Structure formats: structure tokens, C-alpha cells
Amino acid sequence: MKETIIVIGSNGQIGTELVNELRSIYGGDNVIATDIKEPSYEVLHGGPFEFSDVLDKAGLQAIFEKYKPTQIYLLAALLSAVGEQKPKMAWELNMNGLLNILDFARTYGVKKVYWPSSIAVFGPNSPKQQTPQYCTMDPNTVYGFSKLAGERWCEYYFLKYGLDVRSLRYPGLIGWKSAPGGGTTDYAVHIFHEALKSNSYECFLSENTELPMMHMSDAIKATIGIMDADASLVKIRSSYNVAAMSFTPKSLTEEIVKHLPDFKISYVDTDPRQAIADSWPKSIDDSYSRKDWGWNNQFDLPGLVTDMITNLKK
């Protein structure tokens, strides 16, 4: 059956890469990119693009009517750091945006919906090492508890209405094709740009702050992987833990120095993002993803650093 896929929030860090990958699989015309802002040249010219605000129900209805999508990827969200600056807006966008899409997906008989969650669903009382799929979850950022509530809604729509919703709890995502937008893990992308530009970087997290991270191409592989999996294999309908590696600014720097021996990092110790990072897991147990639908990552830390530096140099 022909798929018609709408990606909502196509201009963000994930959307930019996901749209291109989906278009290479399903054909440019079958993947409709939507965002509130003008997209990159590649997204605009690779297939249909529509301006759309996920909070504007009339606008969404027109798009669902026009395209009759079979799959939706909802990526529009405010991330952890920006969410703390605009808490009400983060709640409104992250929560009502999701509910609008779940409702339109039901009304228009969409076959599958993808919605990203995050390691931000965990909080200060969650286990820090190898954080399990099921444990205490007491997120203390608006982003974190909007994602946790969103997970509950996704599972609810699956159980109550049979809507096939699938979701992953992303760690920090690192890629060279797109810029991150307002998260706590953004340092791990900025560091590469600054290293190549000025051989130095002032980091807003302290040197031993360990966080789970993943190369963007692994994140895209995981996203399309769970969407392609047979429905019977997707046993968790809230959101799956997924992991690839964990590192600190210090261990990342040690790896970068192998390629750029003069690179120097310094640290600011007054950034509010530190408290967010301190409330999150250091590493993630993703055994359910590996067992249920066959997740495995390609990139480890040395591979990620080599790939980032090689491609950003070009």
C-alpha cells in the first residue's frame, strides 16, 4: 500500500534529517514536511512543504483533508532548556500539540503515529546508572513532565482507541547536518563547531556531567526501525528506552583531542542547564528495545567523533 507521511516540525534537529531519509525510502512526493517556519532548501525542494502550526486545529484539519496521511511523525516541541524559560508555552505546545495530532489521527484513520519522548522523563529519584524502562519517574522540568504525561496519553490512545502510536525516549542527539534547538545536551553538538572554528569551547555543563547520547543517524535508524516493526513486536506503547553511549564533556574532549591536538575546553559553572543535566540519567538500559523490535546502535564515541569531525570539516 502506498504510504503518505506527514512530518510535523520538519525544520528541527531531527525533522531535517528524518524528512530526507523518509523521502529517500518512500519517494519525495509521499513525504509532506510541515513547520511554522520556512524550511531548508533541501526540505523545500525535495517534496511537498506546508506551513502548519500544531496548535492550529483548522490548519491541521485542512492538511489532513488534503493529504489523507497514513503515517504521522510529530516532532514539534519545546526542549528542556527553552522549556524552562517558557514553561506555560512548553506545556501548551508539547501537550496540546500531541492531543491534537492523536485526535486527528483517530478521525482520519491514520495507520501509525510516531511521537518522541526523552530521557527527560526521568528525575532526581530515578536510578542514575543503567536507568531501567520501569522505575521511579519524578521529572522536574516542564519538558520532562510534558513528555511523561505525553507517554501516558500515547499508551491511553493505543489501549482505549487502538491507535498505533510508537515512541522512543531519545538521549542527547548529535549530528552534523542540523543544529540542535534549546536542549541541555546541545553542548555536545556546539563543541564540534567551535573546535573546528576556534580550537576552543566554553562548556555550560561541568566536566564530569555524564549523559546518554546518540549519533543522529542511529536516532533516525531507531525511529524508522520502530515505525517499520511489526505491530505485534511493539509491546511498550508509552515509550521505549533507547541508548548508544554515555560520555562527559571531559571524555568527549579527550576523544576530540585525538583529532585536534590543540583543542581546549573551559567550563562555566553558573548555567541553569547544569541542574537539568544533574536530574537526568547517566546511562540507560535499553534492553526492551533490543529484545522487542531489534534495536542496535552503530556508533560508539570514537566513531561519532570521527564522523562529526570528518563531515564538519568538509
Helices 187-198, 301-313: crossing angle, 10 deg rounding: 50
Q: For residues 109-148, which are near ligand AKB according to CB under 6 A?
A: 118-120, 143
Amino acid at 298: Q
143 is catalytic: yes
Task: Out of 49, 64, 170, 204, point to the residue binding ligand AKB (CB under 6 A).
Answer: 170
CB of residue 134 vs ligand AKB: minimum separation in angstroms?
19
- Closest approach, Cβ 231 to ligand AKB, in A, equals 26
The residue within the footprint of ligand AKB, chosen from 20, 52, 80, 289 (CB under 6 A), is: 80
Q: Which of 73, 114, 143, 201 is catalytic?
A: 143
Q: Which is nearer to ligand AKB, 77 or 165 (CB)?
A: 77
Nearest to ligand AKB of 26, 267 (CB atom) = 267
Q: Counting beta carbons within 10 angstroms of the beta carbon of residue 132, is it exposed (0 to 12), middle (13 to 18) or buried (19 or more)?
A: middle
Angle, vertex CA 142, rays to CA 138 and CA 145, nearest 5: 40
3-state secondary structure 193-247: HHHHHHCEEEECCCCCCCEEEEEHHHHHHHHHHHHHCCHHHCCCCCCEECCCEEE
Closer residue to ligand AKB (CB): 54 or 90 = 90
Other residues' Cβ atoms within 10 Å of the Cβ of residue 176:
20
Question: Number of residues in contact with ligand AKB, rule: CB under 6 A?
Answer: 12
279 belongs to the binding site for ligand AKB (CB under 6 A): no
Instruction: Give the pairing type, strands 245-247 and 211-215.
Output: antiparallel
Distance separating alpha carbons of residues 289 and 168, to the nearest angstrom: 9
Rounded to an integer, what distance in angstroms lies between the CA atom of residue 295 and that of residue 12?
24
DSSP state of 185: T
Draw the binding track, 31-60, toward ligand AKB (x: CB under 6 A; -: no contact). ------------------------------
Label each residue of 67-113 as H, E or C.
HCCCEEEECCCCCHHHHHHCHHHHHHHHHHHHHHHHHHHHHCCCCEE
Q: Smallest gap, in angstroms, from Cβ of residue 128 to ligand AKB?
A: 15
Cβ-contact 235, 281 below 8 angstroms: no
Given 8, 32, 33, 79, the residue binding ligand AKB (CB under 6 A): 79
Report whether 249 contacts 194 (CB < 8 A): no
Helix axes 57-67, 97-107, angle to 10 degrees: 40
Residue closer to ligand AKB by CB (options 184, 283) is: 184
DSSP helix/strand/coil, 33: strand
Site for ligand AKB in 171-230 (CB under 6 A): 171-172, 183-185
If the CB atoms of residues 82 and 257 are measured against ligand AKB, the closer one turns out to be 82
Catalytic residues: 143
Site residues for ligand AKB per CB under 6 A = 79-80, 118-120, 143, 170-172, 183-185
